[in-house]
Structure 1
Amino acid sequence: MNAYLLLDFGSTYTKLTAVDIDNEEILATAKDITTIEDDIMIGFNKAYEKLEKQLEGKDVNFVKKLACSSAAGGLKMVAIGLVPELTAEAAKRAALGAGARVLKVYSYELTKDEIEEIRNSDLDIVLLAGGTNGGNKQCILHNAKMLVEGNVNLPVVVAGNKSANDEIRELFKEAGFYFSITQNVMPQLNTLNVEPAREEIRKVFMEKITDAKGLSNAESFVNGILMPTPAAVLKAARVLSEGSDEEEGIGDLVIIDIGGATTDVHSIAVGEPTKPGVNMKGLEEPYAKRTVEGDLGMRYSAVSLWEAAGSRKLRAYLKDEKRSINLEEKCRYRNENIRMVPATEEDVKFDEAMAKVATELSMERHCGTIESIYTPMGAVYNQVGKDLMEIKYMIGTGGVLVHSKNPADILRAGNFSKENPISLRPQHPNYLLDKTYILSAMGLLAHDYPDKAVRIMKKYLIEVCNHQEGN
């Protein structure tokens, strides 16, 4: 049978998924520890041996092998813009949507100290933006010159005021920089145009970054490392929501990915006000939006999760009214033992309480808010960010959700709450679970077969019931 082998070189695990293309079935999945320090193919080979055992007796012909990667820290970027709330924020959103970890966002004219900080950062790509088309071009030109003078010789994606492109091209060519110029992330005031920059970042990742990440050994085996893993998940989310040429999508959705270091939230929705009389305020939101919370993780970021949540919130999820649990001790243990697997019921409950905190806070940060302003004419209501109250589906992925006996109870922590009525979080979503970790694989498959990817996700994403609500 003809099959695709879809690989995710993750920061912790290398995950393999074998898909029967003709019958649209998942034949087998396997994973092993990612071995980026030595040779990434060591971990891959161990996972592949597990996969082969599951495929014994089946006549499988892998017609294509595609991969995504977040190994060695994933794709790390800084975004540079003009005004913090406008072009700098637009650049950040473009980078996040491309699957990057945005280490820092810089605004206005760069200083020598900031150039030194950028040069000493462990970066992969610089995204240089600034100015609407025909607007201020002095800032982006100054910043381009500062990158050259400071010898920040990293791949640069330029996505700013088109009036500055000719001068930047000459400047970078003369300096011998590797760069690409694409459309402005904010061509007009408050108008986002992030897709061209996202695509350009993906191309640079494929051309330049895979070698630096030690993935060149894998490239001799696979047909291509197409994109960073988060970009593959966002691709899967979008095709599942919108559908494809032949297959209808399931509608607006949110994906919550709870990991050891971060919690990622992806939303596919316009996010306009669902209540009458509400005005939009601030920067336009991307239809396909990704946010990354680096302080909300189950292991690497366990201590920062506790600090972000506060003891009372974590104890409330633990139902620890007597304060008998040493929160700091348990979080620090997880931080120092990143491969810890819960062995007792107490450990399971603590992990699930952490997951609820991660879900609640990450959704609170991802979703929009509503504010009321009182004027002589009465109250005026403004919305900042996305309104996701009427979202149809909330999809969970990540180990703590996959292994939970009641994953919907964890996802429910991200819902609308009367205690925080200004947060426009989902009210009554249906809950789906990525039990077999197929989302990144389906993002890869959608590159060639979007129809099949949609049908497979509909088949393998499991609907889960909330024990508390009984839905």
Structure 2
Amino acid sequence: MADLLCCVDIGSTWTKAALVEPAGGRLVATRQAPTTPDDVVSGVLAATAGWDAPVRACSSAGGGLRLAVVGYEELISAEAGHRAALSAGARVVHVAAGRLSGAALAELAGVAPDVVLLVGGTDGGEAGVLLHNAAALAGLARPIPVVVAGNVAVRDEVVALLADAGMPVTPADNVLPDIGRLAPESARAAIRDVFLTHVIGGDRLSTDPRLRRWVRSVTPDAVLDGVAALAGLRAGAEVPGVLVLDVGGATTDVHCVPVADAEQSALQRSAVGVPARRRTVEGDLGVQASAGALREAAAAEGLAPPGADGLSLGEAAAVVALRRHLRAEAAYGPGGASARGVGLVVLSGGVFRHSDPAAVAAVVERVAADRGGAGGVLAGTQVVVDTQYVLAGAGLLADDHPVAAAGLLRTLLPR
């Protein structure tokens, strides 16, 4: 199998594996095994048993990457940091703004983040809060990795202050170099490096050195890369943008890559700016751990109460998440995806992949007909299901095997 690759997603519950032919993106086989939380390598080996091929993986096991954002002002730099963190596939567990007090520092430490994203100030602008917060973090009893992505005028000083206190620190470009211009990619790459070094390279998931060799990114980050590649494949479509609703047991993740030129007017409407690739996490929309909250959210949207089966809950999660996304996009201005930026919606998640195809087809029709409950703003949008779970695998292949990634993603293109 020298000409094949194993693409693996290590989830909190299931480890999903796909055997792929890199030359053309042919999906040779798929398999899954229960994730083994005491040592996730065992689950990977079970899912890939008999496949003598190199493994590349992404992981959200153990809750993925827990990230706290510390910024200067909640509606500007802290919000910019929050958006950058979500685009990196992190689960944002805490956001603090302004000068950290003792109580605020204790609250941050209490949520036990894997990494802190420290932001604040535009380049050459206000620096006092950033320096104050760096000094406060340096005083924590337990070292926490910090990504510094604030005012570059004092970046070296901030990095030195944290490093001298024994804090693992990674510098990045400012996530908000100017008002209205969001630049998350450098911070996104730094967060990924911290994830690989301190979460995958630590002993929380496994002490087996193979895990560090296999894992390339946190799963939502890989999926977002796959969504971006899918949008690229649809460049010739009338509306090429893509939105993915990934329904899980605890959350529904929304990944969005709208058509690029649809955002230009929106850039003038937000103090933070609009990232080209967006991801949000709906923490109350899940078909297992969050089922009760999901029912409440569906009732608040005026939807019929979902049944007890997973597919009914999955449909409710998808519809509510889509409506929330469209309302959030509307806040970006008339050029957001709510107006004309998305031409394809993809439903993903085990609840859709493992249900009766006819029943899933009926759900697809109802989601498409709902149009976000906003008067047809997505009229004409097509809805498909990622039945073979190719998005994460395509994201893992997109950088160095773009032909293979494209081959996998073509299975999602409407015929």
| TM-score for the superposition, normalised by structure 1 | 0.79
Question: What's 1:341 paired with?
Answer: none
Superposition deviation, residue 272 in structure 1 = 6.4
After superposition, the Cα gap between the structure-2 partners of 1:16 and 1:71, relative to the gap in structure 1 and judged at 3 Å, is same
After superposition, the Cα gap between the structure-2 partners of 1:157 and 1:390, relative to the gap in structure 1 and judged at 3 Å, is closer
Question: What's 2:311 paired with?
Answer: 352
Tell me the SS of whatever aligns to 1:183: coil
Question: What's 2:275 paired with?
Answer: 286
**1:62-141 equivalence runs, <5 A:** 62=53, 64-141=54-131
After superposition, the Cα gap between the structure-2 partners of 1:139 and 1:461, relative to the gap in structure 1 and judged at 3 Å, is same
Q: Amino acid of the residue matched to residue 43 of structure 2?
A: G
CA distance in 2, matches of 1:448, 1:287: 22
- Give yes or no for the alignment of 1:39 onto 2:29: no
Q: Amino acid of the residue matched to residue 102 of structure 2?
A: K
Q: Amino acid of the residue matched to residue 297 of structure 2?
A: A
Highest CA radius of gyration, 1 or 2?
Answer: 1
After superposition, the Cα gap between the structure-2 partners of 1:253 and 1:409, relative to the gap in structure 1 and judged at 3 Å, is farther
Question: What's 2:324 paired with?
Answer: 365
- Give yes or no for the alignment of 1:268 onto 2:268: no
Match 2:284 to one of 295, 307, 310: 295
> RMSD in angstroms over aligned alpha carbons?
2.9
Q: Could you give the per-residue CA deviations for residues 141-177 of structure 1, whole angstroms, max 9, x where no partner exists?
A: 1111111123351110000011121221221121011
- Percent identity of equivalent pairs: 33
Question: What's 2:215 paired with?
Answer: 225
CA distance in 2, matches of 1:383, 1:160: 29
CA distance in 2, matches of 1:312, 1:128: 36
Q: Could you give the per-residue CA deviations for residues 166-224 of structure 1, whole angstroms, max 9, x where no partner exists?
A: 22122112101100111000000011000110011111111221133644445426743
Counterpart contact for 1:363–1:414, Cα < 8 Å: no
Q: Amino acid of the residue matched to residue 358 of structure 1?
A: A
Counterpart contact for 2:323–2:373, Cα < 8 Å: no
Tell me the SS of whatever aligns to 2:135: helix
Counterpart contact for 1:77–1:126, Cα < 8 Å: yes
CA distance in 2, matches of 1:220, 1:166: 34
Tell me the SS of whatever aligns to 1:447: coil
CA distance in 1, matches of 2:259, 2:195: 28
- Give yes or no for the alignment of 1:399 onto 2:350: yes
Q: Could you give the per-residue CA deviations for residues 228-261 of structure 1, whole angstroms, max 9, x where no partner exists?
A: 0000000011112124xxx967621111100001
Question: What's 1:154 paired with?
Answer: 144
- Give yes or no for the alignment of 1:310 onto 2:299: yes
Q: Which runs of 5+ in 2 are unaligned?
A: none
Decide which moves more: 289-298 or 435-444: 435-444
CA distance in 1, matches of 2:116, 2:313: 33
Superposition deviation, residue 97 in structure 1 = 0.7
Q: Amino acid of the residue matched to residue 15 of structure 1?
A: K
Superposition deviation, residue 386 in structure 1 = 4.2
Tell me the SS of whatever aligns to 2:175: coil
Q: Could you give the per-residue CA deviations for residues 70-96 of structure 1, whole angstroms, max 9, x where no partner exists?
A: 001101101111222211111011111
Q: Amino acid of the residue matched to residue 396 of structure 1?
A: L
Question: What's 1:413 paired with?
Answer: 367
Counterpart contact for 2:87–2:278, Cα < 8 Å: yes
After superposition, the Cα gap between the structure-2 partners of 1:192 and 1:278, relative to the gap in structure 1 and judged at 3 Å, is closer
After superposition, the Cα gap between the structure-2 partners of 1:253 and 1:286, relative to the gap in structure 1 and judged at 3 Å, is same
CA distance in 1, matches of 2:209, 2:236: 33
Counterpart contact for 1:317–1:356, Cα < 8 Å: no
Q: Could you give the per-residue CA deviations for residues 238-288 of structure 1, whole angstroms, max 9, x where no partner exists?
A: 112124xxx9676211111000010001111147669x9999522321111
Q: Amino acid of the residue matched to residue 192 of structure 2?
A: R
CA distance in 2, matches of 1:312, 1:16: 36
| TM-score for the superposition, normalised by structure 2 | 0.89
Q: Amino acid of the residue matched to residue 349 of structure 2?
A: G
